[in-house]
Every structure is written in structure tokens, then in C-alpha cells.
Amino acid sequence: MLRSLRSTRRDDAEDDGQNVERGVEGAEGEEEAEEEATRRVGIRDLLRVTQGHRKALFLALALSLVAAAMGLAQPMLATKTINEFSHHRPYLLLTVVLGVVFVVEAIVSACAHYSLERTSEGIVLGLRQRLVGKLLRLPMRRYERHRLGDLLTRTTSDTTLLRDSLAYDLSEVVVGAFVIVGGISMMIWLDASLFLIVLVIVGAIGGLTMLLLAGIRKAVEDAQDSLGAMSAELERALSAIRTVRVMRAEDREQERIGRMARQAYEQNLQAAKRDAVVGPAMTLAMHGSMMAVLVVGGIRVAGGESSLADMVGFLLYITYISAPMANIFDVMATLQKGLAALQRIEAVAQQPGEDDATPAPAPVPAPPAPDAATPAVELRDVGFGYEPGRPVLHDVSFTVPRNTHVALVGPSGAGKSTVFGLLARFHEPDRGQILLDGVDITTGMSREQCRSMMSLVEQNAPVLHGTLRENIAYARPEATDEELRRVITLASLDELVRRLPRGLDTPVGEHGDMLSGGERQRVAIARALLPRPRLLLLDEPTSQLDAANEAALTRTIEQITQECTLLVIAHRPSTIRAADAVVALESGRVVATGTHEEVARLTPVTLPRRDPSEQ
């Protein structure tokens, strides 16, 4: 635990990275944290996930134990009944008691089973909720490491495996141990020498079975990894389904994804082969023991050395412990599966979230109201790299005055999106300072405060599942119609709302399929403007827009500066010309700033001369 805390701290320090050159040490810390998150989990970790459900679990286990005790009492009652019968004494009451114990055991067993299932579902629900929460809050770079499909598999399939393990294994271990110890005690009490025979047979077969169990966990872990890889590949193919169709790549994709499915199949078969041997091996052991007991016991009963009732009781105890004996090995097999699943769950659940990784400087006072001369955005000698030793931005400095429109231009790969990512605190700068309204975003405000000051419109403007209203009101679901109308007009969407069959309440399809590219962009702008941000970061679409959409976008951009400061990653000469100032980036450095004409003179290659639509 201490080790884990220490390692997380180191990761914090690395993530924190304020004004510190990210060096080799940082990289090591990062790797170690990743390794720590995937350390081998054990039974203790399995027990740890039951926290908060222990009472319910104990109740379920107590019920199972009561049922097991009733089961154990039955052979004894049967022995007594036979004894009474053979000595011509009244046996009716004992028979009734035996019948009642039989029925009550069945009822208590059913209750125990249900409460155990309920508790393990509850544990898995908590785990899933924790995972979903974590998946939405991981530091941005983690999404680049894990593939989405794999993260989804961890939340669904792995948690299901774990639930089975919890529901089945925990009760089997506790109740099974109770029944076995109880049964063995009774058998020794009834006939110690017969028990010795059973011990030798079961011990020999059980020992061999144990050897087979090794390897199940590895096989299941590999199978779940393959399943995760399959989900990731499927997710990738489905998200690009149009390209897949047009390129006629269905067969190839099916082949690739099918390969992962086959890997999971083969690895699961490896586990199943070992798993399959366990049950029959134990049945063999139990049947062998019974035969031996019957033969040896029968001879002794015939010789008058032992009573028939004792032998019947002994045989009944063998049948009673045979199920838990077989299960103990089965349990070990499913336990290995559960541990394999927990391993994959913990690898994500133990990762620090975005805010744990970079703790907000405490205490964080509300940023003071800025005066008119303070720029809305200021970058001072900002340096940043996604990986140590490979800087992407070098000493980037520029300002964006309040309520102006500044265009960020430059060739692809110049670092424009990276600047946006740093402003939104998806990543932290390695060097230099970023100020919003004069306040350092890393040291002077929390992530929450920083993001509440701005809105971001991404280039491929995601439209979420739901109606147009839900999409626009995403940041403020409680927004009034009037507030919605304001941003709809600002984003030139009135025409679209009028045209849609159910207006604002029209569903817009899973990925906004019912909207054109330009409309999607403007829906995203309306969504961004609704919370009245002080700063709007707009990544202009590079794809061609038709004349109507282009004009609407230009009009929207013009109107926005009445509301807020606008920083646009601009590709269209029309947008660049409309800006009050232009900042030109090349290879992560600012190569020119000024008006459009000034920048055009300084960096003739950086600025596009003609509209993409004119080419």
C-alpha cells in the first residue's frame, strides 16, 4: 500500500510538471506508476472490493452456513432413525424431524443463494460506477494509451467475470470449508479407519488436480486481453464504417477482428481444458472412496465389527462432502478467473484521475475581476512536449486582447491544437506560463475554474445522441427557451430549427447524422456559447463547407466577438482576414504576429492564399 502511495506521488510530481523540464526521471516515474497499477492482485484485493457490503455478505454467508449445518445434521438423523428402527424403538418423531430439516434447508439455501447474488451484484455495481467515473476523468494522455474498446470491455465483461467469482467463490470457500471440516469430523467419529481409506484416495487424486490448475489464470487473463483488443478493433471499424464500406474492407476487417475473437476462443479453451478435468477428477475420487468404503465397511459389518447404521451414516457423509470437495477445486479455477478480471479492472481503476494526478493548488481563491487592459489570454514562453525529450512547443508567447478575434494559423503539425489543449488544461506546460484574465491557469485557479471560463468547439464538432435541444443545452440542461433562442440566433441556426420536423425537439441521430457538417459545427458553437464563456476556442473545420454554410459560419464568428473573446484555429482566408490579429505558428514556434497583412508579409508560406473552395 505504502509502495502504491509513494509511486502515485511520484506520478503526481511528474504530472504536475509546473515550469519543470520533463526529464528522464519523469519518464521513469510514469512507467513505474503504470507498472504499479498492474501489480499482481491477490485474494486481499478481492476482499477489499467487498468493502461497504460486508454486512450483507456476512448475512448471506451466515444463511449458507445455517443451510450447510442442516445438511450435515441429516446423515446423523438418518443414522439415528435406522438405529431406532433396528432396535424396534419408536422412530416416527425422528423421521418427521428429518423431513422438516430437509425442507427448511432447501428454503434457507434458496434465501442464501439470492442474498449472495444480490450482494455480489451490488459490489459489481459499485465497481462499475467507480470505473465509469474513472474512465470519464482519466488524464488525457491515458486515453491515447488505452484503446476505447478495451476500456469498455473492462467495464462490462471483466466486471461480470468478477461478479461470478464473488458470488460463487466466497460462499463456496466459507461454506465448503465448514461442510468438509464438519463432515470429516463426523466421519472420524463414526469410523476413523474407514476415513483413512478415503483420505488416501482423495489426497492422491486431489494432488494431481492441483497441478492442472496452474495456468488457468494466465489463460483467462490472455483471453480477456484478446476480447478487449477485439472490442477496440470493432469500435475502430464501426466508427469509420463509411470508409470501411467505400473501401470495400468489410472482409478484411472481419478477418482482423475475427482473429482476435479466435485468440480469445483459443485462450479460453486452454482454461476450459484444465477446468474440465477438475470436476470429474473429484467425482472419481469420491466414487472411488465410496466403493472402497462399501467393500471394506461391508466386510466389517458382515463380520459384526461395525454397525450397518454407522456405515450408512459414513457413506452419507462422503456424499455430503463430495460436492464441496469437488467445488473447492472448481472454486480455485473460478477464483483464478476472478483474479484475472480484477487485475484488468484495477489496472484502470487504480490510475489517478485527472485531478488526483495534478492536484489543484490549494487554496484557490476566485480569480479577481480583470481590468480592461488585461488580455483575455496570455502565453509567456510556453514550452511543451507530449513525450519527454520531444518538445512540440518552444517559447510560445502571444496575447489575445479582450473581446477580440485572433486567428491562430500555421501548417498542419505546427502545434495549434496543442495550444488549445494547454489552454483547456488537458495537458500542463513544461515551461512558461499561461494566463487567463491575468491569472496563471496552473497555479492561480483550479481546472474547474479554468474550464468554466471557456468553451471549446472542436474541429469535428461532436454531436451527441439526443435531440437538438439536448445537444445545445448540454452545458446547462436547465437553460430557458429564451437563452436557447439567443444562442440559436448567434449561431445562425434559426433556419435549421424551422426546417426540422419537430424543431428543437427533433432527435439528431447517434452522431448527428441528420445534420450537415456546417450545421454540426454551428450546433457545437451554440452549445459552446450557451454558458456565456469569456473565451471561445474554435477549431475551424478544414473540410469544405458549401457557400451557405460557409457564409453562416463567417456571420456567426463575426457576431461572437460581441459576446466573448475568440481564438480561432483558422484555415480559411476569409476567417483569417476577418480576425483582428493573426498569430502564425510553425514547428511549434511563433513566427509572426500582427494584422493579416503584416503576417502575410512576414510569413508568405504560412497563410493560405485562396479558400479551399476556390481551389
Residues found near ligand ADP in the complex (CB under 6 A): 144, 386, 392, 410, 412-418
Beta strands in 179-269 (DSSP E): none
Query: Which grid cell sits at 185?
Result: 469430523
HSE, CB side, 13 Å, CA atoms: give it for residue 183: 26
Q: Which amino acid is at 496?
A: L
Nearest to ligand ADP of 409, 524 (CB atom) = 409
The nearest distance, CB 384 to ligand ADP, in angstroms, is 9
Nearest to ligand ADP of 416, 520 (CB atom) = 416
Kindly compute the dihedral angle of the four CA atoms of residues 121, 124, 125, 129, in this order, to the nearest 10 degrees.
Answer: 180
Q: Which amino acid is at 564?
A: C
Nearest to ligand ADP of 142, 163 (CB atom) = 142
Nearest to ligand ADP of 416, 534 (CB atom) = 416
Q: Is 46 helix (H, G, I), strand (E, B) or coil?
A: helix
The nearest distance, CB 606 to ligand ADP, in angstroms, is 11
Provide Rg for the chain, Cα atoms.
35
Nearest to ligand ADP of 390, 498 (CB atom) = 390
The nearest distance, CB 10 to ligand ADP, in angstroms, is 22
The nearest distance, CB 497 to ligand ADP, in angstroms, is 32
Q: What is the arrangement of strands in the sheet containing 405-409, beginning at the earlier edge strand?
A: 454-457, 535-539, 565-569, 405-409, 581-586, 589-594
The nearest distance, CB 585 to ligand ADP, in angstroms, is 7
Q: Is 112 helix (H, G, I), strand (E, B) or coil?
A: helix
Q: What is the arrangement of strands in the sheet containing 439-440, beginning at the earlier edge strand?
A: 393-400, 377-384, 431-436, 439-440
Q: Which amino acid is at 6?
A: R
The closest alpha carbon to 496, from 509, 479, 508, 510, belongs to 508
The nearest distance, CB 138 to ligand ADP, in angstroms, is 14
The closest alpha carbon to 391, from 141, 588, 144, belongs to 588
Query: Which grid cell sits at 390?
Result: 520531444
The nearest distance, CB 410 to ligand ADP, in angstroms, is 6
Nearest to ligand ADP of 315, 422 (CB atom) = 422
CA distance 410 to 596: 13
Query: Which grid cell sits at 69?
Result: 449445518
CA distance 287 to 283: 6
Nearest to ligand ADP of 392, 508 (CB atom) = 392
The nearest distance, CB 385 to ligand ADP, in angstroms, is 8
Nearest to ligand ADP of 209, 417 (CB atom) = 417
